[in-house]
Amino acid sequence: MVFARMIGASFERATCINLTRHPYGQCESLMRIGLSLESACRWYNDVARMMADLSQSGAIGLRFEDVVTRLMETCDELYRSLGVRWSEDGSSNSRLSLMAPVAWPTWASRTGRSSSSAQTKPRTKIDASVLGGERERPSDRAIWNLTGAAATRFSYTVSGVLPGVT
């Protein structure tokens, strides 16, 4: 975001993509790494303001919650916005080939240490129920009080996302 204008000037066909997150999840993450409630909320508001400015310049908005809960639909929407298509290799599941599981080296094989299993599969599905926990913490009201004005610019509400907004 800080370099968006410079990137836009250097690459005329560049498109900025704003990946937003509800302030509960974002601020709680920042607080887990040591920021105070006030500092985390100030960070959220500052970044949200920069994203809102970029949105006025044509940036495409994506919500983290949509990426996690509606991955394929969100990718479809993003690709349409960018004017690109999924792979057209002729296979009936060409869209799904983007999500095909691949073998990833385990920590032991990446570090050169011995391991009985040199390969593991990555997680191919994210449990969307983890998002529900973002509305159950006592700091939620305090976070919303400090970030709500910024979050509503991206269709967030105190309880999640505005109905019917994708």
Per-residue pLDDT of the chain (166 residues; tens, 9 = 90+): 778 888 888 988 888 899 999 999 999 999 999 999 999 999 999 999 999 988 888 889 999 999 999 999 999 999 999 888 777 654 434 444 444 333 334 434 444 444 444 444 444 455 555 555 444 555 788 999 999 999 999 989 988 766 555 5
Q: For the CA atoms of the chain, what is the radius of gyration?
A: 19
Q: Cβ contacts of residue 91 below 8 Å, gap of 6+?
A: 97
Q: How far apart are CA 76 and CA 58, in angstroms?
A: 18
Q: Cβ contacts of residue 119 below 8 Å, gap of 6+?
A: 103, 104, 105, 106, 109
pLDDT of residue 48: 94
What's the DSSP call for residue 122?
Answer: P
Which region holds residue 100: left if phi is over 0, alpha if psi is between -120 and 50, else beta?
A: beta
Residue boundaries of the structural domains of the chain: 1-85+134-166
| Listed residue (13, 7, 35, 12) closest to 146, CA to CA | 35
Q: What is the Cα 143 distance to its own chain's centre?
A: 19
| Listed residue (108, 90, 110, 86) closest to 99, CA to CA | 86
Structure tokens at 62: 């994506």
